[in-house]
Each structure stands twice: as structure tokens, then as C-alpha cells.
A = this chain, B = another copy of it.
Amino acid sequence: MAGPKGSKYYDVFLDYSIFLSREESKELVLTHEQFQLLLLIEEFGSLTAAAKKMDISYRKAWELVRQSELKLSFTLIDKSRGGRDGGHSTLNPDGKLLVDAYRQLRDEFDESVKRVVKKFFQTINK
């Protein structure tokens, strides 16, 4: 999925999200949304810009970052105020590592999705 025209699954897409959680308590540590935000911060070097791209308020984006770092108990982002451009936010080395692992997993997942979807449509068309 997405399936071929005429299939029940036309225009429907089998998708996934990646997140971090505590193994024992199952508490969410980093949601898919928080990962997306990190990717956008990396791309734009700005929390304001990332928030706009995600179509959420700056206030919410700021809270997402705050919660990410609070839950992990280490920082992911270097932030600064003032200066020529008003300030910026960039991933620190820990943030980069995490985002790199995320990207690797995403790439592997994308391949899995393709394989399984192909098999699915072979099955329902037999």
C-alpha cells in the first residue's frame, strides 16, 4: 500500500513512526514529533524556522525541545540568543548521533515497507 488503482487500498499508505521510550516504565522519552523537530532544527539551524515548517507554534516547539532534554537528562541542542540573526539553535554532538541513528533506521524501514507491501498485493491479487 499504496495499492494499485481499483484496489481497496488505493491512495492508502502503510507508514510508521519512530520514537524512544523507557524500557521498564514504557514512558515516552522522544516522540516521532520530537524527532521530526530535531531533523528540522538540524536543517534550518533555528527553532523558529523549524516550528514554522512543522506548522506548530514556537511555544509548542520550545516545549517539545525542553521536554526532550528533560526526559533524556542531557541536552541535544545548542541554543543562543542575540547576534546578527537574532540567535540560532543547532544540534550538539549527542543530538547529531541520535538523529543519525534515526535516519539509519528510517532507511531500513523504508525498504521493509516496500518489500511487505509488494508481498501484500501479491497475496490479495492471487
Cβ of A17: which chain B residues have Cβ within 8 Å of it? 16-17, 19, 32
**A107 CB, min distance to chain B CBs, angstroms:** 9
**A3 CB, min distance to chain B CBs, angstroms:** 10
Cβ of A81: which chain B residues have Cβ within 8 Å of it? none
Query: Smallest CB-CB separation from A18: which chain B residue?
Result: B16
Q: Are A19 and B11 in contact (CB under 8 A)?
A: no
Q: Are B120 and A101 in contact (CB under 8 A)?
A: yes
Chain copies in complex = 2
- Known pairs A13-B22, A123-B97; A8 contacts B74 (CB<8 A): yes
CA distance A121 to B126 in the complex (A): 43
Taking Cβ atoms with an 8 Å cutoff, the residues of A that contact B are: 1-2, 8, 11-24, 29, 32, 72, 74, 94, 97, 100-101, 104-105, 108-109, 112-113, 115-117, 119-120, 123-124
What 7 pairs across the A-B complex have the smallest Cβ distances?
A108-B112, A101-B120, A105-B116, A13-B23, A104-B116, A16-B18, A2-B23
